[in-house]
Every structure is written in structure tokens, then in C-alpha cells.
Homo-oligomer: A and B are copies of this chain.
Amino acid sequence: MSVDYAAQILEGSHRAAARLISWLEDEDERAYECMRKLYPHTGRAYVVGITGSPGAGKSTLTTALTRVIRKSGLKVGIIAVDPSSPFTGGALLGDRVRMSELADDPDIYIRSMATRGFLGGMAKAAADVVRVLDALGKDVIVIETVGVGQDEVDIVGVADTTCVVMVPGLGDAIQSMKAGIMEIADVFVINKADHPGSDMLCAEICARLDMDAQLRERGWVAPVNKTVAVEGVGLDEMWLSIESHRKYLLDSGRFYDNRRERISREALRMIHGELFRVVREQLEQNGRLDAAVEQLMNRKLDPYTLMRDIVTDWLSSSQCKRRRDEDTQS
């Protein structure tokens, strides 16, 4: 009998949460039983995504925002999937010190995640960790991630409200706008707003929002907040923006539409991952892939035929095996 981490997590044990997340990362079979038990207790927490280029000050912003959220008594979970974040081991000593203040608060739980090697993708992993922190009783879950690459955009898909952080003078504003960042922003944050160029950046964002009819027609125009996270300036206003976005989602019914869409996407991802896991396991065991690779190298077989053959054959053999098992039992 294994320890019942699910029960401990529902009682608020950070230690049990840490263990379960490690099981999830290791794809340990025992994680699933726990996650099944926790699932009915999830869906309550509000999820905020914070994304932006390296150097935009996301970690400092996350820390400062967390302090503001804590003032209203809400419990906070933080998930860092940014390789340059002090949570995950990057960045400077000063940042780490600032962050460690948060770690003393028992109503804050911080978890960093490696950004590579997750088979089902980072988005699936992030969604699982969100559920754990949700069951742990956190009211707000903040996900910090670098806004580069498809993986990161997928992670943002886990959030109810996505904040895109930019800084003046980094010269990446136009670049980011190209890469689809405008489309995913519910709230814009211009951090380091005491630096020169912050008014111009603000004007650029607003002009782009005005121009793009598609962005306007969604019924919500993303507000542009200015912050100086390192001095705690502008964070109350940023939190108000997040709260009004939340209110808009609830009033318009989009909150449940978004969550429905997200759950559907997640379920598909999980089914996909599970199928591939089973197939890969079998191919590695029976040596079929190795044999096929030799034929592919000699051009005696093509990968398209191999792909279809394996998918088909695997289905029949799994089925036959199950029937044999049933026959043996009866």
C-alpha cells in the first residue's frame, strides 16, 4: 500500500504535493490514482499566465504580484517554466533573495519545472501541476513562462487570464507582435516603466490594438498596465486588470466556454500521449523498430508504409492478447 498523497494534498500538505508532482514528472504509474482522486476537487482556482521575453522581469513581477494577491488573503501557487527564471535556477542572486521571501509564507507554494523532455509536451505537464495546486487549496495559480516557441504558447493555453510582459528599449516589441503574442494577451504589462521609451511602447501597443479589428471584436480590449516591479509600483492596478478580465469572462459566459475548450484539448493530448506510450513500449520490447530501421536504411521499406503497418498490426495484436488473457481466465 502506498501513502495516500491525495488525502494529504486535500489537507494542504505542500510536501505531499511535491512528491506527487515528482511522480508526474517521472511518469510514475502511481501518480494516476492520486490524480483521479484529486480531480473532483479541482476547477476552483483561477489561473493567471505571465509571459514575455527573457529580461522582461517576469519573476520579479510574479513575486510583486503575489504579494498584492496575498494582501487580500488569497492563497497562491506559482509554477515557473522559464529556464531563465530564478525559480528554476537561472538569473541573479538578488532575484533569488527576493523570491525566497515568498517561500517563508505557508500559503504560497512555488514549483519550478524543467522545460525539456516532457513527452506529452509542457502544456500537459503544466495542466497536471495546476490541478495539483488547485486541489492543494490555492486560490490563484500563477504560471510564469517565456513567450517564445509553440510549447510556451501552449502553456499559456492553460491560463484563464494571460498577461504579456514587455519592457521599453528591448527592441522586441514588433517581433513579439508578429509572433502571435498580441492574440493571446488579455492584459498587457509594460514593466520597467521608469525606463525611457515606455510611453512610446504603450502607444505602439494601443495603435496595434486599434488597428486589428479581430482583437477588438472579442468583446474585451486588453488594458495596458505600467509597472516597476522591482519597486512594487503598479501591481495593484495590474491585479485589478486581471480581476476585471475575470469578471468579463464570467459575465459573458466565456469563462466556461474557455474551460470547456481547454478540457477538450487536454483530454485529446492525454489520450494521444497514452497511446504513444503504449506503442513505443511495445516497439522497444519486441525489437521491431530496430529491424525496420535497417530496411528503411536500405530503402527496402518506406516509413509511410511502416507507419500504417505498425498502427494496424499493433491494434490487432493488442486485441488478440487481451482475448487470450480473457480465455485463460475463464
Residues of A within 8 A of B (CB): 32, 35-36, 39-40, 42-43, 54, 83-84, 90, 115-116, 148-152, 175, 178-180, 256, 259-260, 263-264, 266-268, 270-272, 274-276, 278-280, 283, 289-290, 292-293, 296-297, 299, 302-308, 310-311, 315-316, 318-319, 322
> What would be 17 A-B contacts, judged by CB atoms less than 8 Å apart?
A32-B304, A35-B302, A42-B299, A54-B175, A149-B150, A149-B151, A259-B297, A263-B296, A267-B303, A268-B280, A270-B307, A271-B276, A271-B283, A271-B310, A274-B311, A315-B319, A316-B322
Q: Which residues of B lie under 8 Å from residue A276 when comparing CB positions?
A: 271-272, 275-276
Contact of B178 with A271 in the complex, beta carbons under 8 Å: no
Min CB gap A89→B, angstroms:
10
Q: Which residues of B lie under 8 Å from residue A151 when comparing CB positions?
A: 149-151
Min CB gap A222→B, angstroms:
21
Chain B, Cβ-Cβ closest to A320:
B319
Min CB gap A53→B, angstroms:
11
Number of identical protomers: 2
A302's partner among B36, B256, B311 (CB-CB below 8 A) is B36
Interface centre among A178, A272, A310, A318 (most CB of B within 10 A): A272
A interface SS class: helix
Min CB gap A97→B, angstroms:
21
Complex Cα distance, B270 from A302, in Å, reads 11
The 6 closest A-B pairs by CB, nearest first: A149-B149, A39-B302, A319-B319, A270-B307, A40-B299, A272-B276
Contact of B150 with A307 in the complex, beta carbons under 8 Å: no
A267's partner among B90, B149, B306 (CB-CB below 8 A) is B306
Chain B, Cβ-Cβ closest to A171:
B55
Complex Cα distance, B175 from A149, in Å, reads 16
Q: Which residues of B lie under 8 Å from residue A306 when comparing CB positions?
A: 267, 270-271
Known pairs A54-B175, A90-B178, A274-B307; A267 contacts B292 (CB<8 A): yes
Contact of B268 with A283 in the complex, beta carbons under 8 Å: yes
Contact of B83 with A297 in the complex, beta carbons under 8 Å: no
A272's partner among B83, B148, B266, B279 (CB-CB below 8 A) is B279
Contact of A293 with B264 in the complex, beta carbons under 8 Å: yes
Q: Which residues of B lie under 8 Å from residue A289 when comparing CB positions?
A: 264, 267-268
Q: Which residues of B lie under 8 Å from residue A256 when comparing CB positions?
A: 297
